[in-house]
């Protein structure tokens, strides 16, 4: 992969200094388009939809040779990615998303908004529709899918206005949104997933039952993943969880075991239900996270 000039701006600390989400999204998208020989993000869904007759210029890798053998005519397999796509992005706006261990880096909410803005920009660039939901223990704001420039501006302004306040209640939110999203499409959840894994997985299965394709971006701060604290520290729990003073060395291993168990349960549950689970460390550059995932999803190799 060649590096686009603008990609130097996409490290977490620099992103924090870029206040406008439209600039971030544009830089990410332009980085993808100029940095890859072929775009890995064209169409998120890869489910087969229908056949159409081959025309010169079509990619021959999509020719169904079995059909050719039976009919002596060339037909192309079309996938859901080539039909009109409706995407809904759900962003966690609960209080725990305010956390950021690096004063010069993004909070989890900042990073989640960068992801949401970039993916919305990509979907709209494909001339597809995208909607947005912001939640904590309930759905605080929902913008139905649209595709106009004015709609894009509404999505970005809504992300900019998120004020984390309440506790996370992801399980019930997912069930509510699964009932609300009537048309089969793509659902993208961007959250720290700080809730009961069993309830989260049940909510995700509700989307799958309605034949939505689901992607989960699990955003965690680097310190939450590694617990680097050394001296006696007072930890203040967000979402009204109180405070605790302790020696990090005494609880580090137990904490890390719990985190790995939590992540493992979510990863395993998502895999079982054919849901894409994408772990995100806020210390990882945004372009690395998105390019790696989308290229892998599209089954393409970067050169």
Q: Do the Cβ atoms of 76 and 64 come closer than 8 Å?
A: yes
Can you list the residues of the chain whose pLDDT is less than 50?
1-7, 34-42, 46, 80-83, 300-303
301 part of a folded domain: no
Neighbours of 134 (CB within 10 A): 23
Query: Do 74 and 164 reside in the same domain of the chain?
Result: no
277 part of a folded domain: yes
Query: Do 211 and 241 reside in the same domain of the chain?
Result: yes
Dist. CA 162–CA 70, nearest whole Å: 57
Helices (H) and strands (E) counted in the chain, each on its own, are 10, 10
Query: Do 118 and 54 reside in the same domain of the chain?
Result: no
* Residue that finishes a domain, picked among 57, 80, 103: 80
Predicted local distance difference test score (pLDDT) of residue 210? 93
Residue with tokens 């890995």, as numbered in its chain: 40
How many degrees, rounded to 5, is the angle at CA 25 between CA 288 and CA 147? Answer: 125
Predicted local distance difference test score (pLDDT) of residue 82? 46
The tokens for 156 are 């970005």
The dihedral formed by the CA atoms of 57, 60, 65 and 71, expressed in degrees to the nearest 10: 0
Predicted local distance difference test score (pLDDT) of residue 36? 42
How many degrees, rounded to 5, is the angle at CA 68 between CA 62 and CA 74? Answer: 55
How remote is the C-alpha of 71 from its chain's centroid?
Answer: 42
Query: Do 211 and 73 reside in the same domain of the chain?
Result: no
* Residue that finishes a domain, picked among 80, 102, 134: 80
Question: CA dist 174 to 35, 89, 137, 145, Å?
Answer: 35, 12, 10, 17
303 part of a folded domain: no
Beta strand residue intervals within 20-176, DSSP E: 48-53, 75-79, 86-92, 129-135, 139-146
300 part of a folded domain: no
**pLDDT tens per residue across span 18-69:** 667 777 777 776 665 544 434 444 455 545 555 667 777 667 777 888 877 8
Predicted local distance difference test score (pLDDT) of residue 92? 97
| CATH number for the domain harbouring residue 10 | 3.40.50.410
Query: Do 57 and 160 reside in the same domain of the chain?
Result: no
Among candidates 178, 93, 181, 107, which has minimal Cα distance to 143? 181
Among candidates 33, 32, 5, 8, which has minimal Cα distance to 18? 8
Query: Do 181 and 288 reside in the same domain of the chain?
Result: yes
Q: 60 is in which domain, residue-wise?
A: 48-80
The tokens for 273 are 């239900």
Predicted local distance difference test score (pLDDT) of residue 31? 61
Predicted local distance difference test score (pLDDT) of residue 242? 65
Number of domains in the chain: 2
Query: Do 105 and 126 reside in the same domain of the chain?
Result: yes
């Amino acid at each position: 992969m060649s590096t686009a000039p603008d990609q130097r701006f996409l490290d977490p600390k620099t992103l924090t200094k870029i206040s406008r989400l439209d600039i971030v999204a544009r830089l990410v998208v332009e980085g993808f388009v100029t940095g890859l020989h072929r775009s890995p993000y064209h169409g998120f869904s890869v489910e087969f939809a229908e056949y159409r007759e081959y025309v010169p210029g079509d990619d021959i890798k999509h020719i169904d040779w079995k059909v050719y053998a039976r009919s002596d005519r060339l037909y192309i397999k079309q996938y859901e990615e080539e039909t009109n796509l409706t995407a809904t992005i759900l962003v966690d706006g609960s209080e725990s998303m305010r956390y950021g261990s690096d004063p010069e880096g993004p909070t989890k909410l900042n990073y989640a908004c960068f992801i949401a803005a970039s993916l919305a920009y990509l979907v709209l660039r494909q001339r597809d529709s995208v909607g947005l939901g912001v939640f904590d223990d309930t759905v605080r704001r929902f913008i139905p899918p649209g595709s106009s420039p004015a709609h894009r501006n509404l999505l970005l302004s809504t992300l900019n206005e998120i004020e984390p306040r309440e506790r996370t209640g992801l399980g019930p939110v997912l069930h509510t949104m699964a009932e609300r999203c009537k048309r089969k499409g793509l659902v993208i959840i961007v959250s720290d997933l700080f809730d009961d894994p069993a309830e989260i997985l049940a909510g995700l299965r509700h989307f799958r039952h309605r034949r939505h394709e689901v992607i989960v971006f699990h955003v965690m701060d680097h310190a939450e993943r590694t617990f680097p604290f050394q001296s006696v520290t007072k930890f203040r729990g967000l979402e009204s969880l109180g405070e605790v003073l302790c020696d990090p060395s005494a609880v580090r291993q137990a904490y890390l075991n719990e985190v790995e168990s939590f992540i493992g349960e979510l990863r395993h549950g998502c895999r079982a239900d054919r849901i894409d689970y994408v772990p995100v460390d806020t210390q990882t550059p945004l372009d690395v996270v998105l390019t790696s995932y989308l290229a892998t999803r599209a089954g393409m190799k970067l050169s």
